[in-house]
Every structure is written in structure tokens, then in C-alpha cells.
Amino acid sequence: MATLTAIATHDALTYRRMGIRRAVLSRHANLGDCWTSRDVLQRLLSGRFARRSSSAYPIGRGPSAAQLAVAVSRRVLQDLPGLTADEVGSVIYCHTAIDQTLSDSTAGRLQFDLGLPRANPFSISQSHNAGLLVGLDIALGLVDGPEANANVLLVASDKLLYGGPSDDSRALMFGDVAAAAMVSREARPGWQVDDVRVRQFDTPCSAYAAWPAGDVKAFAEFGAEVVGAALRDTGLAPLDLAAVVTTTPDAALVAARYRAARLGRPRAPAREARASSPDLLIALASLQASVARNAPVLAWSAGNNGEFACGVMTRV
């Protein structure tokens, strides 16, 4: 059994829409195979290029996503004064969008800048907003498995936020957001992790187009089955939950999954979901003051490629 403890967050709450000009100018990742000025011009003017938002990343002033990740991680280590650097066995970094510097290895930078010589760095970059639960699942394996890590640092940061399941680059938002926590084998105040499940919904739908209503319903029912199994295995009923945290921008999917899982309305208000990697930790931090000790919370996330993950945690 592991505990998620010492959550540190940074949420600037200064979001602004990315205009299409800024989004296009920041798409250097999509120009890597262009060798002539004509190739670059054709790519920039193509409708397919302008619609694909996944390769956009924020440029300009302010701290990078990597710098935000280092800052919140240092706060976690400061909140655990009895913990030595050698006791951190791994660092797991989660993000939705790439950072300002394409060659930057944020997981390795965290390990180096934080002075964690024995920590193996991992990076999760293609699980969208389900990435943090995927990272938590890996952390549990590192704690309970043959690696026997006593502590795993779980970190997430983003500067590019997805305000909705839209293919339009102008729907993207730019803001500084980061969070970190320690997954520890030692019992500490925080959130006891009772169950984490990571699944993939087999879908032929494109991540760059709106899903038909029938596929949204099927995905919702798929997620509801996973949630139901997690609740049954932990001996919980939906009414036992103190709160339900969702981190997905798709309101239709949220509503359909609630109906399919018969979760009803959570007793405690959940944080308004965006779709950035740190959102789950930020929501858990905000719930610590309102959720009683020994009360369970359900968290689930869904990505636009059919990723689905859920976790059951108890306030300790």
C-alpha cells in the first residue's frame, strides 16, 4: 500500500487563448521534415497543418514547463525534511504538450537539478490528461514490485492547456500549471492509494475529429465498467464516495459516464476539469481541506485516443 503525500502545486490562473498566428508560429515540430523554403510555405498554408493542434507548444517569456516542474518538486522535498536524496528511487514526469526546447529531457533534468543520484527518470508524454494516473500506476509498481522503491517523485507540468475537445488551435489556452507529490511506501499524511487501473478503449475514431454520439456512449460504458470494477474490488458503493474528480474537457463524455456508472452527484464539489497533466494533483490538493479523513475519493481521466484511467484514494 502506498501513500500520495506532500502535494505541491503551482496554478497561475492566467490563461489566455492562443490565437491562430501564435499557434502556427509555434509549430516548429511540424516543420522538421521540410528542407526547402517552398516545402515550409506549402506546409504552413496547408489546411491539415493549420488544424493539427497537437504539435503546438508555447513560446515566449516566463518559466518553461521544465522550470515549473523543478520548482514544485523542490517544494515537495522541502515538505519532507527527513527524506534524503538517496531514498528517492525514481522520478516520473508527466506532460501533455512538449516544452519550449525540443531537445529538453525534463525527466533527466529533474533528476539532475534536484540532486537525486539514485533516482531513475521516466517520462510520460502521450497519454494526454490520463498521464498522471498512468504515472501513478507505474509508481505503485516501482514501490510494490521487485524494484522496491521506498519513494517515487511524481511530477506533472504544462503550459499548453486544452480548453475543450476541439480541433481548432484557437481553442487552446496558454497558462502555467504544475504539481508534484511523493508516492511513498511509508505511511504519511495524504492520500492512500487503494486502486489504480489503466485501460485502452479500442476505437477507430480519429483524435482530430469529433466522435459520433454512439462512440462516445460506448467509451462511456467502457469507462463505467472499469470504474465499477475498481469500486467493487475496494468494497465501495458510489454513495460512499466523498468526491469524484474528473480530468477531461469533454462534457458529453463526463455526463454519459456518470449515467453509465450511476455515480450520481458527488457529495463534495470537484474541481472544474481542464485537460492538463497536473490537474488531478491540483484537485486532490484542493479537496484535502473538505474531505474528511478515511473518506474515499474516485478520480478518472479519459484521453482523446481512447485512454482511460481511474483511481480510488482514501484521505489519511
Q: What would the pLDDT profile of 222-271 be if each residue is shown by its tens digit? A: 988 999 999 999 999 888 898 888 887 666 677 777 777 777 655 544 55
d(CA 108, CA 120): 8
Structural domain for 11, as ranges: 2-15+55-184
203 and 106 share a domain?
A: no
Q: Which amino acid is at 20?
A: I
Give domain status of residue 110, yes or no: yes
d(CA 129, CA 247): 7
State how many domains the chain has: 2
End position of a domain, from candidates 184, 214, 248: 184
Give domain status of residue 27, yes or no: no
10 and 142 share a domain?
A: yes
DSSP structure string for the chain: -EEEEEEEEEE----EEPPHHHHHHT-GGGGTT--SHHHHHHHHH-HHHHH--TT----SSS--HHHHHHHHHHHHHHT-TT--GGGEEEEEEE-SS--SSTT--HHHHHHHHTT-TTPEEEEE-SSGGGHHHHHHHHHHHHHHSTT--SEEEEEEEEEEEE-SS-S-GGGEEEEEEEEEEEEESS--SEEEEEEEEEEE------TTSPPPHHHHHHHHHHHHHHHHHHHHHTT--GGG-SEEEEE-S-HHHHHHHHHHHT--S-SBPPPPP---TTHHHHHHHHHTTTSPTT-EEEEEEE-TTSEEEEEEEEE-
End position of a domain, from candidates 162, 184, 206: 184
End position of a domain, from candidates 184, 210, 231: 184
258 and 138 share a domain?
A: no
Q: Which amino acid is at 247?
A: T
Phi, psi of 172 (to 5 degrees): -75, 150
Give domain status of residue 253, yes or no: yes
DSSP structure string for 19-76: PHHHHHHT-GGGGTT--SHHHHHHHHH-HHHHH--TT----SSS--HHHHHHHHHHHH
pLDDT string in tens for the chain (316-residue length): 799 999 999 987 555 555 444 444 444 434 545 556 676 677 666 655 544 444 444 545 578 888 999 999 999 999 998 999 999 999 999 987 766 555 568 899 999 999 999 999 999 887 777 889 999 999 999 999 999 999 999 999 988 766 554 445 555 666 788 999 999 998 889 999 999 999 999 887 766 667 788 888 888 889 889 999 999 999 998 888 988 888 876 666 777 777 777 776 555 445 555 668 888 899 899 888 888 999 999 999 887 778 899 999 999 9
204 and 170 share a domain?
A: no
CATH classification of the domain holding 146: 3.40.47.10
251 and 177 share a domain?
A: no
Q: Which amino acid is at 229?
A: A
